Amino acid sequence: MRILIVSSYFPPHVGGVEAVAKRQAQVLAAHGHDVAVATSHLGPGLPLYAREDGYTVWRLAAANPVERRTGVPYPLIGVGFWRGLRLLVRWSEVVHVHDVLYQPPQAAALLATLAGRPLYATQHVGPVNHPHPLVRGVERTVGTIAGRLIWPRCRRVVSYNPMVTAHLRAGGVPATRIVRAEIGVDTDVFAPGPPADRAHWGLPDGVPLVLFVGRIVAKKGYESVLAAAGPGRHVVLAGPGAPSGPPPPGVTFLGPVPAGRLPELYRLADVFVLPSHGEVFPIVAREALASGLPVVLTDSDRYDEYGVDRGLLRLVAPEPSPVRAAVDEILADPVLRRRMGAYARELAERLFDSTAAAGALLQLYDDPADPRQAPVRAAPEGGR
């Protein structure tokens, strides 16, 4: 089957949507599908066309001023993007878009509808309580309008957590067309193990490390993690973006970390903290759990649907005081830290197995012989 995946960003750009889209392309290609990824080309250094892990990546012209100026990832597309995307949609048998909030998936949904291609979507987030009211208002308005236009045209919409499922149901998507899936984690790669040399990372020896991985933006809660800094521990921030001011003493900002080095970074840490807004088990939290780390996340009643032990997974308000109190408690009690780490690993193995996640993905699409599908055209030539 010829499957076109459309994601606003794709690795090496860092983010959860990018990681999920890449894993999707790898799994589908490994099982014999002809897979192309359409994404944004955001500057020099990356080829417009590349063959990776059995699938092709097409980077189409886009601008990225919003992320550069505000830290909010939102590429803007023009005529060149539409032209390239139109050729790829005409080649495809199936179009799968990632998150209707963004312009590239919106364009792909329109082109797929006009071309008569079956449309599928993955919705990654629901309404986000962004700290900035303007950003919050724009995200919710655009997301609501796009969702109500695109979701009814999708054969199925994938949701990775109960918060997103509730958002889809509120947006009018019938339960029969929502596919609840999990983001799989390779528990052989993300696993407990001996820590690497901290000197390679420029980190101090002899003190516990409190780790945050994610974009350095307000909605990820990094400022609450900074409040956990102090004597007897060292805070590490890893991710794209930049803190609003100089990091305080006892804090190291690593910047973006390549995906291949993240397992090593997790094994260095003593506790993982991500007090983000509007997320339930984001991918970096799943990686930290698989790595056997005590984990502190933002509280939500949606975690109850996973049957988690709240004594061994810390769920707190995304504010400095409760975040610091949770970190203090964990670092002060080695027995608790070991129990939380063991529980984290067990939880990841039980809930987020990558093999099970891959199986669900492979059963997502309808048979390409379905008579509702339009005739397909020849694939575009590589590099053009």
State the Cα torsion 192-193-194-199 to the nearest 10°: -70
Residue for token pair 């809930």: 351
| pTM, to two decimals | 0.80
Kindly indicate the confidence band of residue 381, based on its pLDDT and cuts at 50, 70 and 90.
very low
Q: What is the pLDDT of residue 378?
A: 34
**pLDDT band of 330, cuts 50, 70, 90:** very high
Predicted confidence band of residue 350 (pLDDT cuts 50, 70, 90): very high
Average pLDDT, integer, range 92-105: 95
Same fold, 2-184+355-362 and 198-352: yes
Tell whether the model's pLDDT for residue 191 goes beyond 80: yes
Q: Is the pLDDT of residue 137 over 70?
A: no
Domain spans of the chain, in order of start:
2-184+355-362, 198-352
Contact 280, 256 (CB under 8 A): no
57 pLDDT exceeds 80? yes
Exposure b/e, 307-331, CB count within 10 A at least 16 = b: ebeeebbbbbebebebbbebbeebb
What is the pLDDT confidence band of residue 315, given thresholds at 50, 70 and 90?
Answer: very high
Assess if CATH 3.40.50.2000 describes domain 2-184+355-362.
yes
The CA distance from 191 to 214, in Å, is: 19
Architecture of domain 198-352: 3-Layer(aba) Sandwich (3.40)
User: What whole-number distance in Å separates Cα of residue 273 and Cα of residue 67?
Assistant: 24
E runs forming strands in the chain: 2-6, 34-41, 49-52, 55-63, 76-77, 94-98, 119-123, 154-159, 178-180, 209-213, 234-238, 251-255, 271-274, 295-298, 314-316
Give the residue-averaged pLDDT of 239-267.
90
Give the residue, 243 or 173, on which the prediction is more confident.
173
State the pLDDT at residue 218. Answer: 86
pLDDT at 28 over 90: yes
Q: Span 320-346, mean pLDDT?
A: 96
pLDDT band at 217 (very low <50, low <70, confident <90, very high): confident
Q: pLDDT per residue over 60-87, tens digit each? A: 999 988 887 777 788 999 999 999 999 9
Where is pLDDT greater, at 196 or 273? 273
* Per-residue confidence (pLDDT) for residue 360, from 0 to 100: 80
Percent of the chain with pLDDT over 90: 64
Average pLDDT over residues 79-98: 97
Mean pLDDT, residues 84-105 taken together: 96
Mean pLDDT, range 325-343, rounded to an integer: 97
Residues 219, 211: Cα–Cα separation, whole Å: 17
pLDDT at 313 over 80: yes
What pLDDT sits at residue 369? Answer: 56
Task: List the end-to-end C-alpha distance of the chain, in Å, as a whole number.
Answer: 22
